[in-house]
Structure 1
Amino acid sequence: MASRAAAAVLVLAALICAAHSSVAAEGLSRGFHAASCPDLENIAGSLVAETFRRDVGVAPALIRILFHDCFPQGCDASVLLTGNNSELNAVPNQTLRPVALDLIERIRAAVHRACGPTVSCADITVLATRDALVQAGGPHFDVAFGRRDALAPASQDLVDTLPAPSFDVPTLISSFGNRSLDVADLVALSGAHTFGIAHCPSFSDRFTPNVDLNPLIDPLFARRLRAKCAKDVPQGTVNQTLDVRTPDVFDNKYYFDLIVRQGLFKSDQGLIDHPDTRLLASRFALIQSAFFRQFAKSMVKMSNMDLLTGTQGEIRLNCAVPNKRVEGIETAKDDGHTAAM
């Protein structure tokens, strides 16, 4: 009887946790576009699948865009804006891949053709990222809708808060903590490096086998990287996969890389050494389902940070341009839609 009672308590606790993790942020709901754009998810899913078939790299590219959008000032599609003061001109964003930026805009255009300008670029970015993650073998997570688009890019000071590949673990914990993301979020979201590519300038510090300055790296791996990057002329033209085992698949092999000292970034390799992150990184290496559960939870948490909802911001008519700059349209109202739409 006692064991049954204990089991019942565990089941109830699990249900409560699951319910809590699925609660949408204020102003968002899964059915937000159900009436205004019932075919939204089919349109987005079709275009994502088509693009993924041509270029599997679109999946990690979308996750990186979403992270670089959400982390500075919230998930408001500000990173998509072009112009002299855009976030895209900032150093951390100069390698965001055009194929993913173009996909977001193509989805926006298709959705607006079908439904009118009712779905924001911010909502589309989260939805496209989720669908691409699933295409690559990653976990599904429910997307709540209702985000609005920023009228202007994030400031340089906010963009500078993006974590760098050279960060050590204490700096990463502080950086994520400043955005209300905890250690579990840090370790799980770092696992996005289980696919995708990097350029030599972002990991050249790993060639220095100095344990005081850098987590230990497999010597053969370091030699291979050094030789490869010696050919990086002009700089930034050589690509290196972030995960040397299954570079195009979303799985837990990234954490195996860390165990055998083949983490590409200092920020990655440190996770297996630091006492605050070691156990969780090791657990994710052993149990992929545990990694997937936490990654999905952390993606929902990140995609709900500091949102514009209600009458804030706008629904952009072009993801790269605020409505007041869209050619031939002074404001969204000029197109027959109120600014609060």
Structure 2
Amino acid sequence: MASKNLLALVVLLSVLGVSVAIPKLNLNLDYYRSKCPDAERIVRRVTEQYVSRKPSLAAALLRMYFHDCFVRGCDGSVLLKSPNKDAERDAIPNLSLRGYEVVDAAKTALEKKCPNLVSCADVLALVARDAVVVIKGPWWPVPLGRRDGRISKLNDALQHLPSPFADIKTLKKNFAVKGLNTKDLVVLSGGHTIGISNCALVNARIYNFTGNGDFDPAMNPSYVRELKKKCKPTDFRSTLDMDPGSAKKFDTHYFNVVAQKKGLFTSDSTLLDDVETKLYVQTQVATGGISFNKDFSDSMVKLGFVQILTGKNGEIRKKCAFVN
């Protein structure tokens, strides 16, 4: 049965154009079919209830999933709470994460229907996908069977999460360590087509880039002027759209913004500093983003295999914020 399921997954991913190394295929699209056949439907229903009322949660949940997978792998460790405030969610880059209530609500509903069966890691993977679909973004298959990690450390998040201030060389290393290539880097950066940030993360770029009261020369001067109107020198709290002009719609407008040198973060602007990432940006602009949805789906599937726990590793948490 396992070999048939493995073959079915390989065939489906091949049809979808997803390139995933066969040794990693220890997840299964039908993992809960016999154990908890309503699992995906339950998660989808809960996610739709929340995101339809508050669409901005789509960006938040997608970001949470990314932050989970980049630290100790896709093991739900970002969901864990610590009485000492030293878990991943307590790290500065994660203090702005939100949407935990959606994952918790989905997990609670699953525990009522199928207790002790569905991992929080799988719930988060499904919630991220379903949240994007609610706002009419792309769908992607989510192979299941991950188990939950028991370890969550603040310092791990600080060490492994890609920084918004990182250059292209650093970002490529960050992604390569996780088994993701340069194309995955630029494609997943396209997730910035939705969501918000704040003035604190761009203050130095627009007011004091080199310590001489200047702005980052990689930024379009007209965009700098726009940002200065929204972010006064001492304003570190006002919000900014990641994709100005199209921040609520999952589309390819982000690449137009980057091409115009209006990327909000250094990590956005630096996509123009590498031959492969720059070509991808330019291609999406020139073609109206004809391949982006498929590319994004492919890369999200790959992301979902990063350092996963399966078999007897990890556990199935009863509550996502606490180990059993």
Q: Which residue of 2 aligns with 1:327?
A: none
SS in 2 for 1:61: helix
Which one-letter code corresponds to 1:243 in the other structure?
Answer: D
Deviation, 1:22, is: 9.7
Structure 1 gaps of 5+ residues are: 1-13, 324-341
Summarize the alignment of residues 249-264 of structure 1 with structure 2, pairs less than 5 Å apart.
Answer: 249-264=249-264
Contact 2:19 2:298 in 1 (8 A): no
Summarize the alignment of residues 114-153 of structure 1 with structure 2, pairs less than 5 Å apart.
Answer: 114-153=113-152
In 2, Cα distance between the equivalents of 1:52 and 1:104? Answer: 12
Contact 2:76 2:124 in 1 (8 A): yes
In 2, Cα distance between the equivalents of 1:23 and 1:210? Answer: 45
SS in 2 for 1:277: helix
Please provide the CA RMSD for this pair.
Answer: 2.3
Contact 2:91 2:154 in 1 (8 A): no
Contact 1:194 1:254 in 2 (8 A): yes
Taking structure 1 as reference, are residues 290 and 254 closer, same or farther at Cα in structure 2, changes over 3 Å only?
same
Deviation, 1:210, is: 6.6
Deviation, 1:21, is: 4.7
Contact 1:209 1:217 in 2 (8 A): no
SS in 2 for 1:192: helix
Q: Name the % identity.
A: 35
Q: Which residue of 2 aligns with 1:243?
A: 243
Which one-letter code corresponds to 1:175 in the other structure?
Answer: N
Query: Residues 108-161 of structure 1, C-alpha deviation per residue, up to 9 Å, x if partnerless?
Result: 000110111200000000001111111222211111110000112146145422
Which one-letter code corresponds to 1:202 in the other structure?
Answer: L
Taking structure 1 as reference, are residues 157 and 113 closer, same or farther at Cα in structure 2, changes over 3 Å only?
closer
Which one-letter code corresponds to 2:253 in the other structure?
Answer: K
Contact 1:140 1:296 in 2 (8 A): yes
Q: Which residue of 2 aligns with 1:165?
A: 164
Q: Which residue of 1 aligns with 2:278?
A: 278
Which one-letter code corresponds to 1:140 in the other structure?
Answer: W
Which one-letter code corresponds to 2:68 in the other structure?
Answer: D
In 1, Cα distance between the equivalents of 2:215 and 2:304? Answer: 33
Range 19-28 or range 268-277, more displaced: 19-28
Taking structure 1 as reference, are residues 60 and 273 closer, same or farther at Cα in structure 2, changes over 3 Å only?
same
Normalised to the residue count of structure 1, the TM-score between the two structures is 0.84
Deviation, 1:218, is: 2.0
Q: Which residue of 1 aligns with 2:37?
A: 38
Deviation, 1:267, is: 0.8
Q: In the comparison of the two structures, how many residue pairs are matched?
A: 306
Normalised to the residue count of structure 2, the TM-score between the two structures is 0.88
Contact 1:72 1:154 in 2 (8 A): no
Range 47-56 or range 217-226, more displaced: 217-226
Q: Which residue of 2 aligns with 1:217?
A: 219
Q: Which residue of 1 aligns with 2:59?
A: 60
In 1, Cα distance between the equivalents of 2:17 and 2:43? Answer: 26
Range 281-290 or range 201-210, more displaced: 201-210
Taking structure 1 as reference, are residues 54 and 231 closer, same or farther at Cα in structure 2, changes over 3 Å only?
farther
Q: Which residue of 2 aligns with 1:230?
A: 232
Contact 1:210 1:216 in 2 (8 A): no
Query: Residues 25-70 of structure 1, C-alpha deviation per residue, up to 9 Å, x if partnerless?
Result: 3331011100111111111111111111111111110111011100
Contact 2:204 2:215 in 1 (8 A): no
Which one-letter code corresponds to 1:217 in the other structure?
Answer: M
Q: Which residue of 1 aligns with 2:189?
A: 190
Q: Which residue of 1 aligns with 2:7?
A: none
In 1, Cα distance between the equivalents of 2:15 and 2:44? Answer: 30
Deviation, 1:273, is: 3.8
In 1, Cα distance between the equivalents of 2:316 and 2:198? Answer: 34
In 1, Cα distance between the equivalents of 2:147 and 2:168? Answer: 33
SS in 2 for 1:198: strand
Structure 2 gaps of 5+ residues are: 1-12
Which one-letter code corresponds to 1:148 in the other structure?
Answer: R
Contact 2:206 2:216 in 1 (8 A): no
SS in 2 for 1:258: helix
Taking structure 1 as reference, are residues 134 and 291 closer, same or farther at Cα in structure 2, changes over 3 Å only?
same
Contact 1:87 1:154 in 2 (8 A): yes
SS in 2 for 1:289: coil
Larger Rg computed on CA atoms: 1
